[in-house]
């Protein structure tokens, strides 16, 4: 079975107790940190100072998802903060290849994110510059939305391109991930899953992570 990574979204955590909330998900592969600027998306969340502090206290790696304008300008600072992975939106970057190279040069894995309505094909030629593609399975900006099945075809196309390239590029999905929807996303080819309310809304987050990990495993091709 292919490895399945579960990255709970801190957007669904208790913001008054973030350090303890991180320890509730220490069995996860990474914590997904949503950074929103109230411009690229109509919501405001954590900024760099808070993310820097989370990096200092987290028991697991940080995987940042930057839903911000002017990604070329702001994203490198998150790599400088020591985060394991920094993902910027294709729609917010003027020079995505340059930015991906800069993130890698600063020690972070580089990811590119796509809104549900954005095509993946224009970015497949830069697979060699990336460590991850994030396909949004809801419109970015708010947690608790329902999974959009229309994204499954895009996930399949991205998986086919990654497999054909022979490169080690992760395929992440974010939005509406539950024990039910994770199976559909995994069958389409995703191998990294962001889950917010499905983890933090559970009585036992560690048990929820284990269940999601079991449900999200897909057979080796």
Residue 218 has pLDDT above 80, yes or no: no
Give catalytic status of residue 174 as yes or no. yes
Residue 143 has pLDDT above 80, yes or no: no
Spatial distance between the Cα atoms of 77 and 16, rounded to a whole number of angstroms? 24
Mean pLDDT of the chain: 95
pLDDT score of 132: 98
Residue 119 has pLDDT above 70, yes or no: yes
pLDDT score of 42: 81
Residue 142 has pLDDT above 90, yes or no: no
Domain boundaries, the chain: 5-215
pLDDT score of 219: 63
Spatial distance between the Cα atoms of 146 and 160, rounded to a whole number of angstroms? 25
Spatial distance between the Cα atoms of 25 and 8, rounded to a whole number of angstroms? 7
* Sign of the C-alpha dihedral computed for residues 42, 48, 50 and 52 taken in this order: positive
DSSP letter string, 177-188: --TTHHHHHHHH
* Sign of the C-alpha dihedral computed for residues 80, 85, 91 and 96 taken in this order: positive
pLDDT tens digit string along 145-199?
Answer: 899 999 999 999 999 999 999 999 999 999 999 999 999 999 999 999 999 999 9
Give catalytic status of residue 72 as yes or no. no
Residue 141: phi and psi, rounded to 5, are: 135, -30
Least trusted range by pLDDT, from 7-11, 122-126, 142-146, 156-160: 142-146
Among residues 29, 131, 174, 191, which one is catalytic? 174
Tell me which of 3.20.20.70, 3.30.56.10, 3.30.830.10, 3.40.50.720 is the CATH number of domain 5-215: 3.20.20.70
Of 55, 104, 115, 42, nearest to 75 by C-alpha is 104
Report residue 221's pLDDT band, with 50, 70 and 90 as the boundaries: very low
Which residue's structure tokens are 């070329």? 72
Compute the average pLDDT of residues 76-94. 98
Report residue 43's pLDDT band, with 50, 70 and 90 as the boundaries: confident
Report residue 89's pLDDT band, with 50, 70 and 90 as the boundaries: very high
DSSP letter string, 37-50: BSSSSS-B---HHH
pLDDT tens digit string along 53-63?
Answer: 999 999 999 99
pLDDT score of 220: 61
Among residues 29, 34, 131, 191, which one is catalytic? 34
């Amino acid at each position: 079975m292919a490895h399945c990574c579960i990255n709970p979204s801190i957007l669904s955590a208790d913001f008054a107790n973030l350090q303890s909330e991180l320890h509730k998900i220490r069995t996860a592969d990474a914590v997904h940190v949503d950074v929103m600027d109230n411009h690229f998306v109509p919501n405001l969340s954590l900024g760099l100072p808070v993310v820097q502090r989370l990096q200092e206290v987290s028991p697991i790696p940080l995987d940042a998802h930057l839903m911000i304008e002017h990604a070329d300008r702001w994203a490198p600072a998150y790599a400088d903060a020591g985060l394991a992975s920094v993902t910027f939106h294709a729609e917010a970057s003027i020079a995505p290849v340059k930015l991906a190279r800069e993130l890698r040069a600063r020690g972070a894995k580089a990811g590119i994110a796509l809104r549900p309505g954005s095509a993946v094909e224009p970015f497949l030629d830069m697979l060699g510059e990336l460590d991850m593609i994030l396909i949004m399975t809801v419109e970015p900006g708010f947690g608790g939305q329902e999974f959009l099945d229309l994204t499954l075809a895009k996930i399949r196309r991205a998986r086919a391109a990654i497999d054909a390239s022979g490169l080690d590029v992760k395929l992440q999905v974010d939005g509406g991930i539950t024990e039910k929807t994770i199976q559909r996303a995994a069958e389409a080819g995703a191998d990294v899953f962001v889950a917010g309310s499905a983890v933090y809304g559970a009585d036992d987050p560690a048990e929820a992570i284990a269940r999601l990990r079991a449900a999200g495993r897909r057979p080796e091709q």
